[in-house]
């Protein structure tokens, strides 16, 4: 204990590693029960803001004789203390060495978490490669959106889970508990676990064996989080979160979540009301976030907001609505129902020209957008954020000029109506082709092109009402190399990790040179991953079945080329993509 305190005094934000938390389950590590560890391989502040991790943590701890703990990625200062003193790397709550757990589940939200994942294994003295693990090593399983192409990290994982984990994770915990009581060996437990829907073993999967992604049919069937852990230190999303829907009806062709989360499922108003009350009453939070991929499309959004407002008016609970598609209804909702502080509103334009927006199936129209901008500044908002993605497939040849002209027009209206304090923030990210989207076969800009594009944007937008933000070119490029890679990428990841790559999603920690050297040493050519792929070519993730048919994605790609739009989902009668039963 003394050494832990001494150690924590030497590092930045020690509460990351010894957080004060309330609402923790009254359970502890037990030799007789199953001990499960969940990891979000990023900082504590980011990991504790992940709803998926909270849901699984709650599910596991509700099972009798199962104890679930957490671990996050240590920053370099903490890592060097562990390595320098040769001390055990321990879990957040029980402070147990990671090797003592029966199973460790890693949640991979995106590809830039892979070196942190290897670092956690290494600090815990667990062999990096699944094939090198022995009887006493914990079973390592990976899940999360990045596992829709698990190939780059398959060699490090004993098991992979594909899909939405609520139901399967309960089964996994119960199998671990039962197998432990029956003194089953590690291989036997792995064989039992691959019977759970969505779970497979990279080492045991037969060549043409398919893996079906798991989808929760009815959101009302999965109970809400019972113990919402409240952290004493601030985290990225410091509020309770209520998930209104899964899936998105809009079908933007670049968006992976829009395809892997199909079909659209809606939580009932009654369920949302009850869950919001439970969360607010049991945490003391004064803010609730109503989330989904497109919150404005939740059919009962107004009634739900009115209910929360009415019930918690005296407690001054505020409601935040991220991922809100701005239209007249949502402006009215924000203005009249929520009476939000008029600081900032976000419009996801994605592209500057109508032709490019048609190609990506983004139903945003210039005149309509300008009307909305006029409306929000008239109503008193001071800042509008415009999101753009550059390097999209089938981009209009004048795309850059169109983006600049759209921003200039918005800035003109902002200044004219909102006055000198009005601001437009234009935020740019780079298109990355992701598996299971119609653009999974498309090319991506290479690094010099991304840099050139950013330079042009910065050089050409001179309006003082506009601030520009852009995503780091090198992290985008790396994400692009990883997104569609096969097993060979594991060598590159391991090499980069051994060279010291950590926190690759953080620009202040990311070191692209380490990655360039890792590609060179592993003999893997990185540029091949961002080239266009022929639609007849076999893809590394073809063995995964998500419900949406490949033919549908090909058709969507053709429609993109012809600038044809696809209607939003109507789950009551449409059966076109394969996701609805």
Report the interface residues with ligand SF4, using CB under 6 A: 262-263, 569-571, 574-577, 579-580
Smallest CA-to-CA distance from 71 within 4, 31, 117, 23 is with: 117
Do residues 116 and 73 touch, judged by C-beta distance below 8 A?
A: yes
Do residues 174 and 102 touch, judged by C-beta distance below 8 A?
A: no
In the complex, the smallest distance separating the C-beta of residue 565 from ligand SF4, rounded to whole angstroms, is: 13
Strands (E), 123-198: 139-143, 159-161
DSSP single-letter state for residue 565: -
Q: Which is nearer to ligand SF4, 181 or 575 (CB)?
A: 575
Name the maximum alpha-carbon separation found in the chain: 74
Q: Which is nearer to ligand SF4, 193 or 252 (CB)?
A: 252
Alpha-carbon span 426 to 405, nearest angstrom = 12
- Paired with 287 in beta bridges are 318
Q: Tokens representing 161?
A: 């889970």
Alpha-carbon span 355 to 395, nearest angstrom = 8
Q: Which is nearer to ligand SF4, 262 or 423 (CB)?
A: 262
Q: Which is nearer to ligand SF4, 440 or 476 (CB)?
A: 440
Q: Which is nearer to ligand SF4, 336 or 570 (CB)?
A: 570
In the complex, the smallest distance separating the C-beta of residue 580 from ligand SF4, rounded to whole angstroms, is: 3
Q: Which is nearer to ligand SF4, 416 or 575 (CB)?
A: 575
Secondary structure element (H or E) that encloses residue 345, with its range: strand 344-350
In the complex, the smallest distance separating the C-beta of residue 321 from ligand SF4, rounded to whole angstroms, is: 23
In the complex, the smallest distance separating the C-beta of residue 262 from ligand SF4, rounded to whole angstroms, is: 4
Q: Tokens representing 211?
A: 């893996």
In the complex, the smallest distance separating the C-beta of residue 433 from ligand SF4, rounded to whole angstroms, is: 20
Residue nearest to ligand SF4 (CB): 569
Q: Which is nearer to ligand SF4, 7 or 262 (CB)?
A: 262
Q: Which is nearer to ligand SF4, 281 or 570 (CB)?
A: 570
In the complex, the smallest distance separating the C-beta of residue 457 from ligand SF4, rounded to whole angstroms, is: 34
- Paired with 569 in beta bridges are none
Alpha-carbon span 138 to 24, nearest angstrom = 24
Q: Could you give the 3-state DSSP secondary structure of residue 246?
A: strand
Q: Which residues contact 561 (CB under 8 A, 6 or more apart)?
A: 359, 394
Q: Considering Cα of 180, then 185, then 190, then 193, what sign does the dihedral take?
A: negative
Smallest CA-to-CA distance from 110 within 471, 575, 572 is with: 471
Secondary structure element (H or E) that encloses residue 404, with its range: helix 399-418
Do residues 115 and 501 touch, judged by C-beta distance below 8 A?
A: yes
Bridge-based pairing of strands 423-430 and 544-545 is unpaired
Q: Taking each helix axis from N to C terminus, what angle separates 512-522 and 473-483, rounded to the nearest 10 degrees? A: 30
CA 244 to mean position of chain CA atoms: 17
CA 67 to mean position of chain CA atoms: 25
Q: Tokens representing 306?
A: 């009115």
Bridge-based pairing of strands 245-246 and 265-266 is antiparallel
Secondary structure element (H or E) that encloses residue 288, with its range: strand 287-291
Do residues 320 and 289 touch, judged by C-beta distance below 8 A?
A: yes
In the complex, the smallest distance separating the C-beta of residue 294 from ligand SF4, rounded to whole angstroms, is: 13
Alpha-carbon span 133 to 157, nearest angstrom = 10
Burial of 486 (0-12, 13-18, 19+ CB in 10 A): middle
In the complex, the smallest distance separating the C-beta of residue 255 from ligand SF4, rounded to whole angstroms, is: 13
Helices (H) and strands (E) in the chain, counts: 19, 19
In the complex, the smallest distance separating the C-beta of residue 578 from ligand SF4, rounded to whole angstroms, is: 7
In the complex, the smallest distance separating the C-beta of residue 511 from ligand SF4, rounded to whole angstroms, is: 41
Do residues 394 and 356 touch, judged by C-beta distance below 8 A?
A: yes
How many alpha carbons fall within 13 Å on the CB side of residue 487? 7
263 preceded by cis ω (within 30°)? yes
In the complex, the smallest distance separating the C-beta of residue 497 from ligand SF4, rounded to whole angstroms, is: 38
């Amino acid at each position: 204990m003394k050494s832990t305190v001494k150690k924590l005094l030497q590092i930045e934000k020690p509460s990351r590693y010894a957080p004060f938390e309330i609402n923790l389950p009254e359970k502890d590590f037990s030799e007789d029960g199953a001990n499960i560890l969940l990891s979000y391989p990023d900082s504590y502040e980011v990991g504790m803001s992940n709803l998926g991790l909270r849901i699984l943590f709650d599910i596991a701890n509700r099972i009798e004789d199962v104890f679930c703990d957490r671990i996050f990625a240590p920053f370099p200062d903490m890592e060097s203390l562990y390595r320098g003193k040769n001390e055990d790397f321990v879990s957040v709550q029980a402070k147990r060495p990671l090797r003592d757990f029966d199973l460790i589940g890693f949640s991979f939200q995106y590809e830039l978490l892979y070196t942190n994942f290897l670092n956690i294994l290494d600090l815990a003295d667990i062999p990096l490669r699944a094939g090198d693990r022995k009887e006493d090593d914990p079973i390592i399983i990976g899940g999360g959106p990045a596992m829709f192409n698990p190939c780059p990290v398959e060699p490090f994982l004993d098991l992979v889970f594909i899909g939405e984990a609520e139901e399967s994770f309960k089964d996994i915990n119960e199998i671990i508990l039962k197998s432990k009581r029956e003194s089953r060996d590690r291989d036997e437990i792995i064989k039992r676990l691959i019977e759970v829907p969505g779970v497979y073993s990279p080492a045991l999967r037969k060549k043409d064996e398919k893996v079906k992604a798991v989808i929760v049919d009815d959101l009302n069937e999965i109970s809400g989080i019972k113990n919402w852990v409240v952290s004493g230190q601030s985290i990225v999303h410091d509020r309770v979160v209520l998930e209104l829907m899964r899936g998105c009806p809009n079908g933007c062709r670049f968006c992976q979540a829009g395809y892997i989360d199909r079909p659209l499922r809606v939580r009932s108003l009654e369920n949302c009301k009850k869950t919001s009350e439970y969360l607010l009453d049991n945490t003391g939070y004064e803010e609730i976030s109503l989330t989904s991929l497109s919150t404005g499309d939740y059919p009962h959004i107004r009634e739900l907001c009115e209910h929360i407002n009415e019930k918690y008016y005296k407690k001054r609970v505020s409601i935040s609505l991220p991922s809100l598609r701005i239209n007249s209804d949502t402006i009215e909702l924000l203005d009249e129902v929520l009476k939000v502080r008029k600081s900032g509103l976000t419009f996801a334009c994605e592209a500057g020209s109508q032709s490019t927006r048609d190609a990506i199936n983004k139903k945003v129209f210039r005149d309509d957008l300008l009307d909305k901008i006029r409306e929000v500044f008239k109503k008193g908002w001071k800042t509008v954020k415009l999101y753009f993605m550059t390097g999209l497939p089938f981009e209009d040849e004048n795309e850059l000029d169109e983006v600049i002209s759209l921003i200039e027009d918005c800035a003109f209206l902002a200044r004219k109506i909102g006055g000198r304090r009005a601001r437009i923030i234009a935020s740019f990210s780079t298109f990355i082709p992701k598996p299971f989207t119609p653009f999974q076969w498309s090319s991506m800009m290479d690094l010099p092109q991304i840099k050139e594009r950013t330079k042009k944007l910065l050089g050409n937008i001179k309006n003082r009402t506009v601030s520009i933000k852009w995503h780091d070119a090198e992290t985008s490029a790396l994400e692009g190399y990883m997104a569609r890679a096969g097993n060979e990428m594991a060598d590159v990841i391991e090499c980069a990790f051994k060279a010291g790559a950590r926190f690759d999603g953080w620009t202040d920690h990311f070191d692209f040179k380490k990655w360039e050297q890792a590609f060179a040493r592993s003999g893997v050519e990185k540029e091949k991953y961002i080239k266009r792929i022929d639609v007849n070519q076999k893809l590394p993730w073809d063995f995964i079945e998500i419900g949406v048919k490949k033919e549908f994605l090909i058709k969507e790609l053709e429609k993109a080329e012809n600038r044809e739009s696809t209607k939003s989902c109507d789950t009551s009668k449409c059966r076109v993509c394969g996701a609805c039963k």
